[in-house]
Amino acid sequence: MSAVARTINTQHPADHHDQQHIVPTDQICTRQDQHSSKAVRRSSKLTFGGGVYILVTLFLAIGAINSQNNLLFWLFGVAIATLIVSGVFSGNALMQVRLKAQAVPDAYAGDLLRLHYTVSNHSRFFPLLAAMITEVPEKNASNTKFKAAALLHIGPQSRCKVTGSFVPYSRGRVAMREVKLTTRFPFGLLQKTLVFECPRKTMILPHILAIKPEIIRVRQGHGEEVRKQTDSSGSSNEYWGLREYTPGDPKRAIAWKQSARQGKLVVVEHAQPISTRLWISIAEPKPGLMNDPIKSERAISLAASIITQATARGVPVGLWMPTHGIRMMPGNGKAHMMRCLRALGMIDFDQSPTRSTGRSSPPPSASADDVLVIAIDQPPSLHAKNLRVLQADDPASWLIDPSSLPMSLRATPNGVRS
């Protein structure tokens, strides 16, 4: 199903989705035309309807010759003229078509990504009508389905902008090299195709999931400011308050002076230690174990979701995966978040261990930092203070709604991606 293009009206702005913007003849920019691409390949083939039409035309010719009927000769002449018009009319317009594809921004897996094209018609007399524009998928892009953009009309010496789209289902780098323009105008008998070379690359970032907010226990702030944000006591050395003595409390926690003043036993409570930075690490499968791609993708999506949520809450977050060359110190801001997400998007767990760029080691965390390790299969062998482990194979423990897990991150009972 194609994305139908719409003409933009300056008084009533049209929807930005799948739009066609026609520029008059006198507004064509010469610089834009210089950067437009010529077709590198042309092809023409007979459609199914065209084949049926030619068979009918042959029967008309045989009938006209055998019967010497003037009406059949007239019909045969009209059929031949129709074939000639079908080939000449669209062919002349396509000879002068130029196309330019705009750069594609980074996008998240599962989100709709829009592809923008500028098409120019340099013909002086022939318009271009009823054309479809789509990407030519690469051989290794079987998971990517492109939605064509419909081009309704370009007049002579004009250009227009059209928009197609596609939904990436998995993370990683996507390379788009060729764009195909096809038309069956005017009668649908012949399909003519132009292939333009427009190399572009984009990074598909991991899925962002709705994770439970309590996974991130780090509070932004320093010293007393941090500890005032908690509403419970803990075991740090900082004073929190007094409470009445209950059986089982250690005697060294009793505040004897305050107890004497109040006439009852009270104990001292200390503030709960709150971390100020968050470290994220993904524990890889141990050598000799087969990598489960579903669990690996879940772990990467979980890490990306934690980084996104921590950034939104102003928490400094770092990413530590030295076996893949990722050693990002905790930082704040959207730019740091995008660097982490791009690094996660490029991870390849099938990489040979001999090619790894570093040894597995714990992050250089401080005593107040929170270290969150995402385990793919078995518990990690890392040892660090304040270390917590999330299991990638248990979405119910970290998703708000386990049913919201994308289909590409789910597995069937046979272990095959659904």
The predicted-structure confidence for 155-180, as pLDDT tens digits, reads as follows 888 989 999 998 888 888 888 889 99
Higher pLDDT, 22 or 348: 348
Same-domain check for residues 67 and 169: yes
Instruction: Establish if 222 belongs to a structural domain.
Output: no
Domain identity same for 350 and 243: no
253 and 320 both lie in a single domain: no
Count of CA atoms in the C-beta half-sphere (13 A) of 7: 9
The pLDDT value recorded for residue 189 is 87
Do 235 and 137 share a domain, yes or no?
no
Average pLDDT over residues 332-345: 92
Q: Cβ distance 373 to 389 under 8 Å? A: yes
Can you tell me the mean pLDDT for 167-194? 88
pLDDT tens-place string over residues 303-319: 999 999 999 988 899 99
Q: Is pLDDT of 31 > 60?
A: no
**Of 223, 188, 176, 160, nearest to 21 (Cα)?**
160
Classify residue 38: in a domain, yes or no. Answer: yes
Note the pLDDT tens digit of each residue in 59-92: 888 988 888 888 888 988 988 888 888 777 777 7
- Asked whether residue 1 is domain-assigned, the answer is no
Q: Does residue 299 sit in the same domain as residue 251?
A: no
pLDDT of residue 309: 92
> Which pLDDT does position 348 carry in this prediction?
83
Q: Write down the pLDDT at residue 141.
A: 59
18/87: higher pLDDT: 87
- Higher-scoring residue by pLDDT: 140, 302: 302
The burial of 342, by beta-carbon neighbours within 10 Å (0-12 exposed, 13-18 middle, 19 or more buried), is given as middle
Q: Is residue 16 part of a domain?
A: no
Which of 82-96, 232-246, 280-294 has the highest mean predicted lDDT (pLDDT)? 82-96
> Where residue 290 falls among pLDDT bands split at 50, 70, 90?
low
- What is the residue-averaged pLDDT of the chain? 78
7 located within any domain: no
Q: What per-residue confidence (pLDDT) applies to 393? A: 84
**Confidence check: pLDDT of 20 > 90:** no
Say whether both 151 and 188 belong to one domain: yes
Q: Annotate 165-195 with b (16+ C-beta within 10 A) or e (fewer).
A: bbebbbbbebebebbbbbbbbebebbbbbbb
Least confident range of 150-159, 203-212, 269-278: 269-278
Query: Is 53 part of a structural domain of the chain?
Result: yes
Residue 403 lies in a domain: yes
The residue range of the domain holding 111 is 21-205
Residue 221 inside a domain? The answer is no
The number of domains in the chain is 3
The amino acid sitting at 30 is: T
Question: Rounded to an integer, what distance in angstroms lies between the CA atom of residue 196 and that of residue 93?
Answer: 16
CA distances to 32, 137, 196, 363, 378 from 177, in Å: 20, 8, 9, 40, 41
Helices 70-94 and 48-67 meet at what angle, rounded to 10? 150
Q: Are residues 162 and 282 in the same domain?
A: no
Look at residues 350, 349, 353 and name the one whose alpha carbon lies nearest to residue 287.
Answer: 353
pTM for the model? 0.67
Residues found in the chain: 418
Residues 40 and 184 in one domain: yes
187 and 334 inside one domain: no
Tokens 């081009």 correspond to 151
Q: What is the DSSP letter of 77?
A: H
Q: Quick one: pLDDT band at residue 356, thresholds 50, 70, 90?
A: very low
Q: What is the CATH number of the domain that holds 75?
A: 2.60.40.10
- What is the DSSP-derived secondary structure letter of residue 291? P
168 and 261 housed in the same domain: no
Do 185 and 311 belong together in one domain?
Answer: no
Distance CA 272, CA 218 (A): 12
Considering the domain architecture, whether residues 171 and 295 belong to the same structural domain is answered as: no
- Among 271, 297, 321, give the residue marking a domain's end: 271
Treating both helix axes as pointing N-terminal to C-terminal, what angle do 334-345 and 293-312 enclose, rounded to 10 degrees? 180
> Of 238, 271, 304, at which residue does a domain stop?
271
